């Protein structure tokens, strides 16, 4: 057996060790405590009220993973650029993603994966907690807070990928955009910054936008051109009139039938010249290694949806009245999101 294949396989088998070590570091506040200059284990443990001996072993492991740097005296550590991504104050922080994806809820549901595949029932959250993910989120404020942090954490890099994919798109005939399920307005706000002739609306559930202090329009300087509307994309008549509609990482949460319902509601609410932009992890062809094929298994565990290829998105558009136009790709090396454009038939 090849030593390389053996090492790769072991690395995957023990992969959860790495992510759980990282989760512990984030949960305990290690990355917000660590600095660019060397700090002793005793100082870090003292500030965070940790056991000095066990804290050193965790810091050493995080250093081995590249998130900290261990200094020669073996008892001092500084943060690395990789570790900076786990700080609360980093604009591109991945702290929320770590807390959600390696937290107790999402850790627990993966054990149901073999049974789901054997039985053909995509319901891990229901099996574990008795509720679907969004119902569970609404009933459990602590989980809801972590969930919202993760969505905000994802938003920064995802917005960059979407803006890059749309970089050469002609927005001259688009004067208002509705961001369906747009959260606190990260994507729409940045679109309005880039296209100053455009106004926009975020359509979101009341629970998401009720805290006005969290909404980003004023912080991004686009509050005069950005409004927030409480509404449900599954309900007829609640989607506002706009030249264009955008949905980022929305449809992958839902089954094909649910997606057709959403897209049909948008179709009925839109003018005849409307454009539709769907930003998702698009599954490439057979044999191509891609994050979307792993994310698809995550979606199998957390919700009723899945990651889809171009033909599957084109079919959803057709079933709901839209016509597939093209797929726009991010040119960033790390870009994992494509934008699918549709128009009214």
Residue pair 90/96 in contact (Cβ under 8 Å)? The answer is no
- At the second CATH level, the architecture of 106-344 is 3-Layer(aba) Sandwich (3.40)
Query: Which residues fall within 8 angstroms of residue 21, CB to CB, at 6 or more apart?
Result: 58, 61, 62, 65
Q: Where are the domains of the chain?
A: 3-88, 106-344
**Residue 148 to residue 208: CA distance in whole angstroms:** 8
* Cβ pair 249, 158 in contact under 8 A: yes
Q: Name the fold adopted by 3-88.
A: Arc Repressor Mutant, subunit A (1.10.10)
Q: What is the per-residue pLDDT for 75?
A: 86
Q: Write phi, then psi, for 123 (nearest 5 degrees).
A: -155, 45
- Between CA 57 and CA 34 the distance in angstroms is 15
* Cβ atoms within 10 Å of 61's Cβ, excluding its own: 17
Question: CA 200 to CA 185: how far, in whole Å?
Answer: 10
Query: What pLDDT score was predicted for residue 203?
Result: 97
State how beta strands 338-344 and 322-329 pair. antiparallel
Identify the pLDDT of residue 1. Answer: 56
Q: Which two tokens stand for residue 194?
A: 């880039």
Looking at residue 155, its pLDDT comes to: 86
Query: First CA to last CA across the chain, in angstroms?
Result: 56
Q: pLDDT under 70 in the chain at which residues?
A: 1-2
For the sheet containing 244-248, what is the strand order? 226-230, 199-204, 176-180, 244-248, 275-280, 338-344, 322-329
pTM: 0.92
> What's the pLDDT at 177?
98
Q: Are strands 76-79 and 226-230 parallel, antiparallel or unpaired?
A: unpaired
Give the CA distances from residue 216 to residues 88, 155, 222, in Å, rounded to whole numbers and listed in that order: 17, 12, 9
Residue 343 is classified by DSSP as E
Alpha carbons 60 and 53: distance in angstroms, whole number: 11
């Amino acid at each position: 057996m090849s030593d390389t294949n053996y090492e790769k396989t072991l690395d995957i088998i023990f992969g959860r060790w790495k992510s759980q070590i990282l989760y512990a570091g984030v949960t305990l506040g290690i990355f917000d405590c660590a600095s660019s200059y060397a700090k002793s284990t005793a100082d870090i443990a003292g500030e965070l009220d940790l056991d000095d001996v066990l804290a050193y072993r965790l810091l050493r492991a995080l250093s081995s993973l590249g998130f900290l740097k261990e200094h020669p005296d073996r008892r001092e550590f500084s943060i690395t650029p990789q570790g900076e991504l786990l700080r609360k104050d980093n604009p591109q922080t991945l702290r929320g993603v770590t807390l959600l994806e390696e937290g107790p809820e999402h850790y627990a549901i993966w054990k149901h994966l073999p049974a789901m595949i054997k039985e053909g029932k995509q319901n891990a959250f229901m099996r574990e907690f008795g509720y679907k993910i969004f119902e569970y989120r609404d009933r459990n404020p602590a989980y809801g807070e972590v969930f919202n942090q993760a969505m905000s954490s994802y938003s920064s890099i995802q917005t960059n990928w979407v803006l890059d994919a749309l970089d050469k798109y002609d927005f001259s005939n688009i004067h208002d955009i509705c961001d369906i399920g747009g959260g606190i307005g990260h994507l729409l706000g940045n679109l309005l910054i880039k296209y100053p002739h455009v106004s926009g609306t975020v359509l979101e559930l009341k629970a998401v936008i009720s805290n006005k202090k969290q909404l980003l329009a004023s912080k991004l300087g686009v509050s005069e051109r950005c409004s927030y509307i409480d509404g449900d994309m599954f309900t007829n008549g609640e989607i506002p009139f706009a030249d264009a509609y955008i949905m980022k990482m929305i449809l992958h949460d839902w089954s094909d039938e649910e997606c057709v319902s959403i897209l049909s509601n948008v179709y009925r609410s839109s003018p005849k010249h409307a454009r539709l932009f769907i930003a998702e992890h698009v599954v490439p062809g057979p044999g191509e290694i891609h994050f979307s094929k792993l994310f698809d298994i995550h979606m199998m565990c957390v919700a009723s949806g899945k990651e889809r290829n171009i033909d599957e998105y084109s079919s959803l558009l057709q079933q709901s009245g839209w016509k597939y136009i093209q797929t726009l790709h991010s040119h960033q090396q790390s870009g994992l999101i494509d934008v699918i454009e549709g128009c009214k038939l």
